[in-house]
Amino acid sequence: MKRWYGKLLGFFAGAALLRSNPPLGALIGLLIGHAFDTDWFKLRRDNPYAVFGLTDEASDAEIDQAYRRLISQYHPDRMAGAAEELRRQAEAKAREINAAYDRIQTLRRK
């Protein structure tokens, strides 16, 4: 478990807010704190690592290897003789791959 402070704050906040029944308030606060600790309420943004089939613990070499593999597979120039719809899909996928790679590089610089 990475985070625990949401549960602690929720426990005390719930007990304080529901003064008529502090144990119930503490339990509700504990559940809400757990939800925040596990990112249930986090706005779901695209996970750039998921595009490459990796986790955020992946090394830079693994990310570079996955990027090269995918971009060589979906690069629009490889689809030069294919149907127009396939070329559009390849261009969209290549844009997604490049955006994910740029996002990962930005996150790693921080």
30 within domain boundaries: yes
Task: Determine the structural domain holding residue 75 and report its residue range.
Answer: 48-109
Give, as one character, the DSSP assignment of residue 82.
S
Query: 14 near 32, Cβ under 8 Å?
Result: yes
100 within domain boundaries: yes
Two structure tokens written together for 42: 């986090």
What is the per-residue pLDDT for 23? Answer: 81
Residues 23 and 70 in one domain: no
Q: What is the rounded CA–CA span in Å between residue 33 and residue 44?
A: 18
Residues 96 and 59 in one domain: yes
43 within domain boundaries: no
pTM of the model as a whole: 0.57
User: What total number of domains does the chain contain?
Assistant: 2
What is the per-residue pLDDT for 95? Answer: 92
16 CB-near residues (< 8 Å, 6+ apart):
25
What is the per-residue pLDDT for 101? Answer: 94
Q: What's 89's domain CATH number?
A: 1.10.287.110
Residues 27 and 52 in one domain: no
What is the per-residue pLDDT for 28? Answer: 82
Tens place of pLDDT for every residue, the chain, 110 residues? 467 777 777 777 777 877 787 788 778 877 887 777 776 666 556 788 988 999 888 999 999 999 999 999 988 888 778 788 888 888 999 999 999 999 999 988 86
Query: CA angle at residue 66 from 61 to 68, to 5 degrees?
Result: 95
Radius of gyration from C-alpha coordinates of the chain = 22
Residues 33 and 73 in one domain: no
54: closest CA among 43, 65, 40, 44? Answer: 65
